[in-house]
Amino acid sequence: MDDGDSKSVAKDRLRLVLVHDRSMLPPETLDALRADLIEVVSRYFEVDRTMLSMDVHRTRESWALMVNLPLRRARSAS
């Protein structure tokens, strides 16, 4: 793994820690959610997995999951 990959992995882990702190969800749950999102979206689009970011916003009444997953292009229908 080169420095760029290590930096990206460290950045992803930090993001997950921040989301975990805000959401009170266990890190394992966030990891599973991240993997599931990538799997589902990848059925329809080529995605940039390294650039996925997730954030949880809370108000008094609700929670919102904000996801940014850059798409490279749509997959052809089969």
| Res. 11: pLDDT tops 80 | no
Q: Are 30 and 54 in contact (CB under 8 A)?
A: yes
Averaged pLDDT, 5-25: 66
Number of domains in the chain: 1
Q: What share of the chain is helix, strand, coil (3-state, %, to 5)?
A: 50, 25, 25
pTM (2 d.p.): 0.63
> What is the tens place of the pLDDT at every residue in 36-76?
999 999 999 999 988 888 887 778 888 888 899 999 999 98
User: Residue 55 is part of which domain span?
Assistant: 3-74
Q: Are 69 and 38 in contact (CB under 8 A)?
A: yes
